[in-house]
Chain A
């Protein structure tokens, strides 16, 4: 059987879900029989590949770059799995929405810094923050939602196995918002 080409990406999240992914421990070896990780923070690959079977996305969308990435991912992936509460609901990343972008920038680049010589927010290299942090499905269509903060390794394993084998699975039995 041909191995599935799987990508993982870390957008606006804490990387906790990627840690959880590694927490699958020896089960990763088992999974590697069914999948190749073709793009991920775990592997050295700069460009997002063009023909991915499944992309696992951690984190919410908070910048113009995130939007650009998720659109590219949608175009290049057969299926997308939203991993963890940030990707599914916005979660902690979206708590910014209670205060607004301006307040966050002020805090980060003026209130909490000792030096800001330019007296400005950074304009180059760093991406621009969106007015509102959104979960993935508010920008593109998502195929699987696996909540949790972070999603427990057991849940990731069960879901991945089911997806790779093309089986139905009840995600609510494995994880929930805030688990």
Chain B
């Protein structure tokens, strides 16, 4: 493969002229320029997954919607982040996330500090547009410090990625597929019995919802320390 030399590219996001390094993603450039594109599975420093589809944007000349988190920038491209079509698609996708499992905000440890909840406010989603599915999973409270409630999981796989890419343990992965997919420890062991988990807690702090939380906290009390992880990634890169 030919490694492209890094240079600067100029293009437009929502009519605003922006510049970015040629190897940057659309989302990174938008963030640098203060243009907000909603995200859920994206976490700065982790490999983008393109899974939640919240960051879909339009690029002039193509009918396709592309996720800003994985899209590489191109010279002269014209990006729209907020057309009526995108807004309504995002609302339905967000509805799907709310409807899939059981997000009972009122009694959740992350109530008030939840990225899923924040997205609903930002997008003006006041109800789910799709019927609730309430796929049920068992809670794993076996770990001495943490609890995993898959019923609040949105399968963003931040935990899987941070465990693999930052902690290097790869204690987490996905079991089963489709609507039955579930994050598991090792070979679907109870968390406490996982031999590869180092109990570092990174998974808990990157989790956007109340799916992974510390024991002992009550409703609204779980505040995630995301900056710990982003700083860790940054300092490591700069070494």
A residues apposed to B, CB below 8 Å: 82, 85, 88-92, 94-95, 97-98, 132, 134-135, 137-138, 142, 145-147, 149, 170-172, 176-178
Decide if the interface of chain B is mainly helix, strand, loop or mixed: loop
Q: Is the CB of A98 within 8 A of B127?
A: no
User: For this complex, into which size category does the number of interface residues on chain B fall?
Assistant: 20 to 34
| CB of A94 to closest CB in B, whole Å | 7
Is B196 an interface residue when CB atoms closer than 8 A count as contact? no
Is B151 an interface residue when CB atoms closer than 8 A count as contact? yes
Is B223 an interface residue when CB atoms closer than 8 A count as contact? no
B residues apposed to A, CB below 8 Å: 98, 102-108, 111-112, 117, 120-122, 124-128, 131-132, 134, 136, 151
Closest residue of chain A to B112 (Cβ to Cβ) is A178
Q: Is the CB of B124 within 8 A of A172?
A: yes
Closest residue of chain A to B128 (Cβ to Cβ) is A89
Q: Which of B103, B104, B126, B131 contacts A146 (CB 8 A)?
A: B126
Question: How far is B105's CA from A172's CA once the two chains are assembled, in angstroms?
Answer: 15
**10 tightest Cβ-Cβ pairs between the two chains A and B:** A178-B105, A149-B106, A145-B127, A177-B105, A145-B126, A97-B134, A178-B111, A178-B106, A172-B124, A88-B127
Q: Is the CB of B127 within 8 A of A97?
A: no
Q: Which residues of B sit under 8 angstroms from A170, Cβ to Cβ?
A: 124
| CB of A114 to closest CB in B, whole Å | 28
Known A-B contacts A89-B98, A91-B106, A94-B104; A137 and B132 likewise in contact (beta carbons under 8 Å): no
